[in-house]
Amino acid sequence: MKLYLSILIVSLLYTPFVNGANNSLKQTNVNWNSVASWSLNRLPQNADTVTIPAGFTVIVSNNIYNANPNLYIKVYGIINFLPNGKLYLGENSTIEIFTNGKITSTNGGSGIIYFDDVLKYKGSIDGTITGYALANPQSPASGSGPGSAFLSGTLAVGLKDFQAVKMNGKVYVNWQTGYEKDADHFEVECSDDKTNWKTIYTIKAFNQATGDSYNYINSDPVTKDIYFRLKSVQKDGSASYSSVSLIKRDNLKSVITIYPNPTSDYALVSFNTSFRKGIITLSSFEGQVVQSKSVNSSAGYVKLEMATLPKGVYILEIKDQNQTIQTDKIILRNP
């Protein structure tokens, strides 16, 4: 039996909080750490949606939080970091920078934003980030270049969630949008190798300003591992893609164990089944191969060195004769 292993970045969706309070900056050129700066007369706290309006600037001059709240921050104005300015946020936070909004560091400020222990912004590396840009738990970590933790592009469809789930022999595909600007239609695509995709369902966009929900049921038998993704097509013909969701065939045996996970420097992948030859490939989010090894089960395990990689969530994907038979997450975080 031949095994092929590759590591891919997990999905790139963002999910704003729906049950928290809305807390907006009500003055300009004021400090984040002042309760008088905010519409609720308190600092933004866990599950809040935080709005920095256009024409307003909030200053971050110290370490604001110790409890790492999960915040959804909408930046139409400016977040300005001064020396020692830090925002330590929860791992499920989202920062969305809209057109003409920006995050910057001035007066020698390095500026730091962490989602849990994943670095998302460092002023000395990332400089000024202007909208449209998005950082969420699934976007890369900062470090591979200016603005590397932020996804940028035209704001057309805000995809809040996309998933494919197998139940009772059928695959249920669901997705939600937060907003739809000039959206034309959606296409559900599938593939058995993540290279050759075919469209299996098309639906016109409802074009609701506040977004909408969509669903599709695929009744084809799942005789092999199948990947699903969503293609969002705009009226001008441009398109964007969701994350990839894997539906696995039934009765699969776990063939690996990963330890430690989460990790800060390496992961040991031990093999629970025998095979003659395998290939392990470690790839970045952009698809760049950073490690590639040939192994066989007689070694018992393989060590993946990850200390120099950007912190974030990775997916370990295992293949047997070019078919995925198991997928596991590896979380790379700070020591």
Q: What is the pLDDT of residue 239?
A: 76
The domain boundary, picked from 237, 265, 284, lies at 237
Whether residue 309 is found in the same domain as residue 219: no
Q: Which two tokens stand for residue 55?
A: 């024409």
Whether residue 320 is found in the same domain as residue 219: no
Residue type, 104: T
The domain boundary, picked from 202, 237, 272, lies at 237
Residue for token pair 């949606």: 49
Whether residue 45 is found in the same domain as residue 129: yes
Residue 244 counted as domain residue: no
Q: What is the pLDDT of residue 246?
A: 81
Q: Alpha-carbon distance 262 to 269, whole Å?
A: 13
Cut 0.85: pTM above it: no
Q: Which CATH number do you get for residue 217?
A: 2.60.40.10
DSSP characters for 135-156? E-TTSPPTTSSTTTTSEES---
Residues in the chain, overall count: 335
Phi/psi of residue 322, nearest 5 degrees: 70, 15
Q: Which CATH number do you get for residue 305?
A: 2.60.40.3080
Whether residue 107 is found in the same domain as residue 213: no
In tens digits, the chain (335 residues) has pLDDT values of 333 333 333 333 344 554 568 899 999 999 999 999 999 999 999 988 899 999 999 999 999 998 899 999 999 999 999 988 999 999 888 898 888 899 999 876 678 999 988 999 998 888 899 987 888 876 778 876 677 788 765 445 667 667 787 777 788 898 888 767 678 899 999 998 877 889 999 999 987 766 788 999 998 877 778 889 888 888 888 777 777 788 877 555 566 788 898 889 998 888 776 666 667 777 655 556 677 777 776 667 888 888 888 887 777 776 655 455 566 777 888 87
Whether residue 43 is found in the same domain as residue 118: yes
Quote the number of domains for the chain.
3
Structural domain span for residue 324: 2-11+253-332
Residue 246 counted as domain residue: no
Residue 243 counted as domain residue: no
Residue 16 counted as domain residue: no
Q: What is the pLDDT of residue 325?
A: 56
The domain boundary, picked from 211, 237, 263, lies at 237
Q: What is the pLDDT of residue 71?
A: 92
Whether residue 52 is found in the same domain as residue 140: yes
Whether residue 178 is found in the same domain as residue 143: no
Whether residue 84 is found in the same domain as residue 112: yes
Quick one: CA dihedral 131, 133, 136, 141, positive or negative? negative
Q: Which two tokens stand for residue 259?
A: 């330890």
